[in-house]
């Protein structure tokens, strides 16, 4: 029953990838004549400073954002894993970010951190009676790569953490209580139960979260497009190359590099997680 869906998706992927490769090796000159095959687009991209900066920004975005989403999801999953009053209500509140479109969240963050009259600046400057003045001058939050990409990262983590939470919560619910009871009879403490029972058995769910979230981080577009337009990621650079600068061949090259980066990152993650699982099982 899955074969038709697989053939459709695989065929669609092959067609797109073939067109992307062909476009990356096609150079359109100033007189609109096409040269194929040509390495001009690759040389243009690799020698461009905007690509190097975008790749470094994207790599840092992935390295910082993926663990943050894992930790945020794990903390929330551990909170609602315990039985307490209004547990269902709290779980529903944690899922609210998924109901808000990413573009709406990005616009809200844009308004909050706007310069000079964003709500965050007004709050820190004491314009609201509920908070003392901490600043004398407003801060331009989007004037530096660290702050603007940091705000983008906060929005991305907040928007997607319910997905990580639900995956990890399913992993926690699959662990039987008998193992914890056996560990308690042997004098295990909470930290030992987490390290030697919860973490090893939760590793498949953690692997899923890391792989899915890292892929999402690599190809993130909406939050940096609205909040860090000057400091490009690979996703926003592709959009600018294709639509703003009319350099479709260069955009195809960057897109291929993005795909290869995702594949390489996924392979590296699977290798690291496999080594981690072997280490935890030995312990």
Q: Give the pLDDT of the chain (283 residues) as one tens digit per residue.
A: 788 888 888 888 888 888 888 888 988 877 777 788 888 888 988 988 889 999 999 999 999 999 999 999 999 988 888 877 788 888 888 888 988 888 899 999 999 998 888 888 888 888 887 788 888 888 888 888 899 999 999 999 999 889 999 999 888 888 877 777 777 787 777 777 777 778 888 888 998 999 999 999 999 999 999 888 888 899 999 999 888 888 888 899 999 999 999 999 999 998 988 887 777 665 4
Q: Is residue 114 in a domain?
A: no
My answer on whether 193 and 229 are in the same domain is: yes
Q: Is residue 232 in a domain?
A: yes
* Residue 194 neighbours by CB distance under 10 Å: 13
My answer on whether 190 and 214 are in the same domain is: yes
| β partners of residue 27 | 35
Q: Is residue 46 in a domain?
A: no
221, two tokens: 């577009």
My answer on whether 79 and 164 are in the same domain is: yes
My answer on whether 31 and 58 are in the same domain is: no
Q: Give the domain CATH number at 214.
A: 1.10.3720.10
- Which residue in 215, 220, 228 sits closest to 262, CA to CA? 215
My answer on whether 32 and 58 are in the same domain is: no
CA–CA separation, 70 vs 156, rounded Å? 12
Query: In terms of residue numbers, what domain contains 30?
Result: 1-38
My answer on whether 32 and 85 are in the same domain is: no
Q: Is residue 248 in a domain?
A: yes
Place of tokens 């929005």: 155
My answer on whether 10 and 84 are in the same domain is: no
Distances (CA, A) of 203 to 70, 72, 74, 109, 281: 12, 16, 12, 33, 11
Q: Is residue 176 in a domain?
A: yes
My answer on whether 34 and 159 are in the same domain is: no
Q: Is residue 17 in a domain?
A: yes
My answer on whether 2 and 93 are in the same domain is: no
My answer on whether 17 and 66 are in the same domain is: no
My answer on whether 4 and 77 are in the same domain is: no
Q: Is residue 118 in a domain?
A: no
My answer on whether 209 and 247 are in the same domain is: yes
Q: Is residue 92 in a domain?
A: yes
Give the count of domains, the chain.
Answer: 2
């Amino acid at each position: 029953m899955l074969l038709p869906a697989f053939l459709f998706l695989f065929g669609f992927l092959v067609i797109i990838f073939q067109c992307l490769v062909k476009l990356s090796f096609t150079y359109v000159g100033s007189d609109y004549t096409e040269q194929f095959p040509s390495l001009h687009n690759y040389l243009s991209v690799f020698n461009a400073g905007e690509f190097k900066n975008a790749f470094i920004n994207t790599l840092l975005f992935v390295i910082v954002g993926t663990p943050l989403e894992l930790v945020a999801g794990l903390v929330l999953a551990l909170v609602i894993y315990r039985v307490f009053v209004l547990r269902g209500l709290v779980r529903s509140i944690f899922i609210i970010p998924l109901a808000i479109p990413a573009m709406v969240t990005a616009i809200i963050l844009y308004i909050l951190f706007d310069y000079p009259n964003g709500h965050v600046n007004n709050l820190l400057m004491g314009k609201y009676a509920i908070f003392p003045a901490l600043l004398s001058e407003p801060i331009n939050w989007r004037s530096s790569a660290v702050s603007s990409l940091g705000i983008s990262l906060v929005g991305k983590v907040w928007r997607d953490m319910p997905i990580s939470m639900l995956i990890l919560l399913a992993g926690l619910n699959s662990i039987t209580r008998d193992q914890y009871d056996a560990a308690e009879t042997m004098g295990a403490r909470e930290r030992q139960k987490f390290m030697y029972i919860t973490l090893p058995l939760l590793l498949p769910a953690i692997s899923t979260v890391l792989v899915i979230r890292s892929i999402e981080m690599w190809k993130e577009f909406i939050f940096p497009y609205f909040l860090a337009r000057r400091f490009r990621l690979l996703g926003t650079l592709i959009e600018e190359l294709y639509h703003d600068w009319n350099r479709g061949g260069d955009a195809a090259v960057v897109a291929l590099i993005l795909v290869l980066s995702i594949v390489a990152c996924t392979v590296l993650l699977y290798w690291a997680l496999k080594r981690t699982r072997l280490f935890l099982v030995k312990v």
